[in-house]
Structure 1
Amino acid sequence: DKAKDLPDSQRPRVFYEIQYEPLMTAGPGTFIDNLIHLAGGVNIASDASAKYPVYNLETLIERNPEVIIISFWHGSIAASVEAVKSRKRWQIIDAVKNNRVYGINADLVSRPGPRIVDGIEEMARFIHPELFKK
């Protein structure tokens, strides 16, 4: 509830990585696109021509996300995040420069169900940490 009604001017640009090779994200009308909006962000791929577009690095750099969220199924969140931050040429992206790359358990956000509430809250904490400070 804290983030869903924010004006566009207060919504950071978000890139949600589904997979790296090829670099794929969630586009318009997808479940993930809706979750990003509910969590207070703007999906940088919301204007893509496909629901799950393959992105190239040049487009990603041009769109310059302020937050990057990667989904993972197993392994270490920390190792996955560090791998993203160490990718060649990604250091010029705002999210990487400002240490705003996060991993989210795909089970929380991959399908509708009761756990989606936890997934939206976790995304909102990544996108708007200031709303959750006590």
Structure 2
Amino acid sequence: MTTPSPTVWPSLRYSDAPSAIRFIVDVLGFDETLVVPSDTGGVAHCQLSWPAGGGVMLGSGEGTHAKVPADAGGLYVVTETAADVDRIHLAAVAAGATSVREPEDQDYGGRVSTFVDPWGVHWSFGDYRGEPR
């Protein structure tokens, strides 16, 4: 039986993402699936897969991709379509969320947006499903 692709991803930002990746892979046992370096020497995007299914996405707390504060986390939820990203973002902001990243296409694929809900939790929605294992 194959494990279905996850559709909810914890999303983390680190002040030292390369060291965090080594810890999560070498100590915790995740698999390094994809690492996209940033122009500043950090990590623009990283997918670490859990061997039993699912995983985490993370990056450096700097540059244009850093919409969640460094050393903090949030959730990434996969949508069926890019249009869903825009629709959910508009609905969340209309209901009191604060936009921190308007819906936009990403260099590594897909469309994503990020907002902070009224309680301070960072939510990202996108149609990028992650890299295959």
From the CA coordinates, give the structure whose radius of gyration is larger: 2
TM-score w.r.t. the length of structure 2 is 0.29
Per the normalisation by structure 1, the TM-score is 0.29
